Amino acid sequence: EVQLVESGGGLVQAGGSLRLSCAASGFSFDGNAIGWFRQAPGKEREGVSCINSSDGRAYYADSVKGRFTISSDNAKNTVYLQMNSLKPEDTAVYYCAATRVRMYGGTWKMHSLYDYWGQGTQVTVSS
């Protein structure tokens, strides 16, 4: 059974930082892609970032470029999302998702391409 477990969410003031983790069991990151998505109340789920674990190629939403960094530790089957300079508009439930296919700039935001999803972790940024 594949499980993805997110952690690291919490309450932080604007300008602060958090690091989210996504730990996988029953699924090897090696050669696959992991994405981070978020969903704020009343809004659709949106892609935040994605990394291809084979070569570390990463993609970011325009809204987080320069502030968020995704990384992968394949030996630990864990992907991280370092979030700096957080803004109130970053407040959302953050989900990690895994897929067995390589992602590209035109595909990584497509929810349907991800096979497995975590339960999410809440990130709240106060102003």
Convert the pLDDT of each residue in 61-78 to its tens digit: 999 999 999 999 988 999
Q: Which residues contact 32 (CB under 8 A, 6 or more apart)?
A: 52, 53, 54, 98, 99, 100, 101
pLDDT, residue 54, reads: 87
Would you say residue 13 has pLDDT above 90? yes
33-58 mean pLDDT: 95
Would you say residue 26 has pLDDT above 90? no
12-34 mean pLDDT: 91
- What's the CA gap between 80 and 55, in Å, rounded? 15
Region of poorest pLDDT, from 15-19, 37-41, 72-76: 72-76
pLDDT, residue 86, reads: 98
Strands of 68-73's sheet in order across: 3-7, 18-25, 78-83, 68-73
> What b/e readout covers 8-36, taking b as 16+ CB neighbours within 10 angstroms?
bbeebeeeeebebbbbbeebebeebbbbb
- What's the CA gap between 92 and 112, in Å, rounded? 20
> What b/e readout covers 67-97, taking b as 16+ CB neighbours within 10 angstroms?
ebbbebeeeebbbbbebeebeeebbbbbbbb
46-63 mean pLDDT: 95
pLDDT, residue 79, reads: 95
Share of residues in the chain with pLDDT > 90 (%): 86
